Amino acid sequence: MTAVRVKGRDGTEQTVDATDGMALMESLRDAGLGVEGTCGGAMSCGTCHVYVAAAWADRLPARSQDEADMIEALADFVELRPTSRLSCQIPVDAGVEGLSVEIAPQV
CATH no. of 2-103: 3.10.20.30
Cα–Cα distance for residue pair 15/42, rounded to 1 Å: 26
pLDDT profile of the chain (107 residues), mean per 10: 97 97 97 94 95 97 96 96 98 97 94
Contact 4, 11 (CB under 8 A): no
Q: What share of the chain is helix, strand, coil (3-state, %, to 5)?
A: 25, 25, 50
* pLDDT at residue number 107: 79
pTM of the shown model:
0.95
* pLDDT at residue number 92: 98
Q: Which residues are CB-contacts of 106 (< 8 A; sequence separation ≥ 6)? A: 9, 34, 47, 78
Contact 54, 2 (CB under 8 A): no
